[in-house]
Amino acid sequence: MSRGLTLALALLIGLAPVAAPANSDTPPAALRDVGLDQRLNQQVPLDLSFRNEVGETVTLGSLMRGKPVILSLVYYECPMLCTLVLNGLLGSMKALPFDAGNEFDVITVSFNPRDTPELAAKKKAAYLAEYRRPGAEQGWHFLTGDDASIKRLAAAVGFRYTYLPDKGEFAHAAGIMVLTPQGVLARYFYGVEYAPRDVKFGLMEAAENRIGTPVDQLQLFCYRYDATTGRYTNQVMTLIRLGGALTVLAIVGFILRAWWRERGTGGKRPSTPAVATGGGRQ
C-alpha cells in the first residue's frame, strides 16, 4: 500500500464520528419549552405596539401596506443563530425578482425587551447596505418593544423561547414566517437558509390570501455549549455529526482515487528514464 493511501486511511480512522451516548437525544431542560409551532391561518394581532428604528411608536397594523410580509423574530445581540437567520433571509431576498418595499415588506422584531431602537437602527443600516435595493428602507422594519407586546406576538405566531439568566442569553428556534396583506400566517420556513424559489411562491400565494400547508419541522436551536457538563445540545451535535460525515466522505473519495491510480499502475512506481552521462564512444 502506498504512503499516500496509508495516510488517508489513518486520517479516516482519526476523524470518524464517535458514537454518542444513548441519552444524547434527550433535549436539555433549557430547550423543552423552545420551538416554532405552525399557526397557519391565524391572525397576527395588528394592534400590538412596538418602537421603530428612530424610537417612534408604531403598530403592526400601521406597517401593513397591502403587501405580503416576511416576519422574523430575533434579538439584536444574539451570539449565534439570529445573525444566521437574518443573513439567510438577506441572501434569499437578494435572489428574488421582487423588491422589499415594493412587492413585499419585511418586519424584524426583537424578542429581547432590553434591545433599543439604537441597536435596531444599526442592524437596519447594516442589512440595507448589503441589500442595496431602492425603496427597501421603507419596506424593511427593525422593531423593539416591551415584554408584554413581544410575548403576545410570539404566542400568536408559535415562537416559543426562554431566557437563560445564568448566561444572559435566550434559547430559541430559527425560522421565518410569511403573512398575508391582512396579517394572517400563511407560510413557515425553518432553519437559517430559505430557498428563494420557495420564498417567492410563498409570497405570491400570501399576496392572494392563500394559506400554505404545514411543512416538516427541522428545527435549529440557539443554545450554547455547556462548559460545566462538556455537552452540546442534541441539535448542535447533529450539525457536528453532519460535518464529520461530510469529512469522512471526502476522505473516502480520496482513498478511492488513490486506489484506482495504484491499480492502473500495477502498484509500481514509473521507472526513471536512464540519463546519458557520456559525450563520446568508449
Supply the CATH number for residue 104's domain. Answer: 3.40.30.10
- Name the domain count of the chain: 2
Q: Is residue 66 part of a domain?
A: yes
Same-domain pairing of 43 and 107: yes
Task: Indicate the pLDDT class of residue 265, thresholds 50, 70 and 90.
Answer: low
- Strands in 169-173's sheet, in edge-to-edge order, are 162-164, 169-173, 221-222
Helix (H, G, I), strand (E, B) or coil at 69: strand
pTM of the model as a whole: 0.70
Q: Which grid cell is 192?
A: 437559517
pLDDT at res. 31: 61
Instruction: Tell me, yes or no, whether 166 and 240 share the same domain.
Output: no
Instruction: Identify whether 41 is part of a domain.
Output: yes
Residues 146 and 171 in one domain: yes
Which of 39, 35, 64, 68 minimizes the C-alpha distance to 188? 39
On whether both 179 and 255 belong to a single domain, the answer is no
Q: Is residue 181 located within the same domain as residue 256?
A: no
**What distance in Å separates the CA atoms of residue 89 and residue 196, rounded to the nearest whole number?**
9
Query: Which domain does 254 fall in, by range?
Result: 3-22+235-264
Find, among 194, 192, 182, 188, the residue nearest to 157 by Cα.
188
Domain contains 271: no
Rounded CA gap, 271 and 67, in Å? 73
Same domain, 219 and 79: yes
Confidence (pLDDT) at 81: 86
Let me know: does 219 contact 35? Beta carbons within 8 Å: yes
Is 140 in the same domain as 213? Answer: yes
Shared domain for 189 and 62, answered yes or no, is: yes
In a domain, 209, yes or no: yes
Query: Which tens digits make up the pLDDT trace of 212-237?
Result: 988 755 554 444 434 344 333 444 44
Q: Is residue 59 part of a domain?
A: yes
